[in-house]
Amino acid sequence: MMKKVTYLILLLVSLSITSQNRYLTKTGTVEFEASVPSFEEVKAINNSVTAIINSETGEFAALVLIKGFRFKNALMEEHFNENYAESDLYTKATFKGKIIDFSLDGLNSEVKTFRLTGVLTFHGKTKKLEGLNLNITINENIITISGKFTADASDFGIKIPKIVKSKISEDITVSFKFELKKK
């Protein structure tokens, strides 16, 4: 009996620890741009991205539902979904990694730079991101993480047809911003 109670207490304590360290958002922003100067912009924003950080360990995960990318141009959005990202088949992009030396101590409303390492999966292909710079602040218990990186369309098995090659950049700039609340 005593043993059971001890286990139960241990379990409850460990549960409360894990939940206390969890900060998350369901409405993070991921934006990408593959525009070529003097042509129509190729740009989309997704503001329904889920991101979670464990403030104790610095472990970070994000999930992007591809259908949530919105373009200004409806036809471009359709082509993106059907021919490039194939979002019926590959419905999500995920990132799993770790913010190196992350600690809540010393974080404040001033921007501090951290490095993120992990794996990004999109369109059925996985790529390692290493030493990606992150800007992190904390303000009224909300952790804000932002950053940007460049991805190569071919790294993710996305072919840009010859006919539009001059209008879509092979180098895609991806930027993101997450405002994570304690949950």
Partner 1 sequence: MKRKLIVLLVLMLLAFAGYKYIYQDHRDIQKEQAEFVVSSTSITKEFLQKSIEAEKKYLNKTIEISGVITEITENDITLNNNVFCQFSSKITTLFTTKDSITIKGRCIGYDDLLELVKIDQSTIIE
**Interacting residue ranges for partner 1, rule: CB under 8 A:** 24, 26-27, 47-48, 50, 52, 61, 63, 65-68, 73-75, 77, 81, 87-88, 91-92
Nearest approach in angstroms of CB 7 to partner 1 is 26
CA 55 – CA 103 distance, rounded (Å): 7
Nearest approach in angstroms of CB 28 to partner 1 is 11
Nearest approach in angstroms of CB 19 to partner 1 is 13
Nearer to partner 1, 18 or 47 (CB): 47
CA 42 – CA 31 distance, rounded (Å): 11
CA 144 – CA 111 distance, rounded (Å): 9
Nearer to partner 1, 73 or 175 (CB): 73
Nearer to partner 1, 5 or 74 (CB): 74
Non-local (6+) Cβ contacts of 150 within 8 A are 171, 172, 173, 174
Where do the DSSP E strands lie in the chain? Answer: 22-33, 43-54, 59-65, 70-71, 92-100, 112-122, 125-139, 142-152, 171-182
What angle (nearest 5°) sits at the alpha carbon of residue 180, between those of residues 113 and 131?
A: 30
Contact 94, 70 (CB under 8 A): no
Nearer to partner 1, 56 or 107 (CB): 56
Nearest approach in angstroms of CB 9 to partner 1 is 26
Nearest approach in angstroms of CB 24 to partner 1 is 7
Nearer to partner 1, 107 or 142 (CB): 142
